[in-house]
Structure 1
Amino acid sequence: MKDTELLTNWWNLRMKIGRLFHAKHQGTNSIGMRGRDRIIGMINYRGAGLSQKELAKLVHLRPGSLTDALTNLEEEGYVNRERDPKDRRIWRVSLTEKGEKRAREIAADHKVFVEHLMEGISHADKVAMNRAVLQMTKNFEHYYGKNAE
């Protein structure tokens, strides 16, 4: 197998996953993750107390766009924002009880998605795939830097 064939196959899978998540965001598909669910899921995954700046970086949104999204999520009862008592310039974000319930639903959906995606792949192939992805990441960072975008 040529390297280009492997990367083309990987890229095609990545694009299919992206379209699936985009379709969910547009409300046209029952699978995937809406934009706000990405935010709720990340707060749940990383834990309460993330700053808005940290969260914006993790969900790949500009700080202003995240502020708008968090305002909506706060109005809908999914998140709380509080000023950091040590640095009043920083807003910390946490989930409400309603947000935690949605986070559990997101985690369950994600678990099923991963199970479907990994079905039929042996443990040995998963280990080899992980090793290859880690090496590709190392190569990327060596040639293009850790923060290249």
Structure 2
Amino acid sequence: MGRPQQPPVGLAVARVARTLSRAFEDALAAAGGSQSVWLVLLQLKINPGATQRDLAEALELREATMTHHLSGMERDGLLTRRRDPANRRVHQIELTEQGEQAFHRLRRAATEFDERLRAGIPPERLTELGDTLAMLAANVQHAASH
């Protein structure tokens, strides 16, 4: 078996993912947030009135991790949590005015970051990249199910 002509695809994708994740985290930090805060705010805008469990499921997080994120965001004044009067085990979550402002600030940062990523890449190449990444994920999921 000869030496590979290219580095393993998985290694290349993992390296790029780490680089992009760090850069995205830096862009969000410069706007006064983080990726976890951004994802929670975004999910609350998509699904107003989401419960803590809804958010955990949507973001694929354990409820304990979600509780940790929400506690910090509540402490920072971005959201409020209160018990659902109909079911005391359920927390209703709402954005505060400060949370709304943070959402718009982080959305701007996320949009600018995405535009920076896409710079100089023709739309058809971005479509091809999306298709290729989906195929890589499907190959891994397919292999895991066998």
What TM bracket, shorter-length normalisation? 0.7 to 0.9
Q: Distance in 2 between matches of 1:15 and 1:5?
A: 16
Question: Counterpart of 1:98 in 2: which secondary structure?
Answer: helix
Match of 2:42 in 1: 41
Matched-pair contact (CA < 8 Å) for 1:21–1:33: no
Report the count of equivalent residues: 141
State, as a whole percentage, how many aligned pairs show the same letter. Answer: 22
Matched-pair contact (CA < 8 Å) for 1:52–1:90: yes
Question: Counterpart of 2:89 in 1: which secondary structure?
Answer: coil
Letter in 1 for 2:11: T
Q: Distance in 2 between matches of 1:32 and 1:98?
A: 12
**Cα displacement (A) at 1:60:** 5.2
Q: 1:5 to 1:121 in 2, by over 3 A?
A: farther
Question: Counterpart of 1:50 in 2: which secondary structure?
Answer: coil
Match of 1:137 in 2: 137
Letter in 1 for 2:41: I
Q: 1:139 to 1:76 in 2, by over 3 A?
A: same
Matched-pair contact (CA < 8 Å) for 1:79–1:96: yes
CA RMSD of aligned residues (A): 3.0
User: Over residues 120-144 of structure 1, what are the superposed CA-to-partner deviations in whole Å (9 max), with x where a residue is unaligned?
Assistant: 1111111111111222222222222
**Cα displacement (A) at 1:91:** 1.3
Match of 1:89 in 2: 89
TM-score by length of 1: 0.73
With a CA cutoff of 8 Å and minimum separation of 6, indicate the structure with the bigger relative contact order. 2
Instruction: State how 1:1-149 maps to structure 2 within 5 Å.
Output: 4-21=7-24, 30=30, 34=34, 35-44=36-45, 46-59=46-59, 61-145=61-145
Letter in 2 for 1:108: R
Question: Counterpart of 1:88 in 2: which secondary structure?
Answer: strand
User: Which consecutive residues of structure 1, in runs of 5 or more, have no partner in the other structure?
Assistant: none
TM-score by length of 2: 0.75
Letter in 1 for 2:20: I
Question: Counterpart of 2:82 in 1: which secondary structure?
Answer: strand
Matched-pair contact (CA < 8 Å) for 2:33–2:102: no
Question: Counterpart of 1:74 in 2: which secondary structure?
Answer: helix
Matched-pair contact (CA < 8 Å) for 1:21–1:32: no
Q: Distance in 2 between matches of 1:36 and 1:127?
A: 28
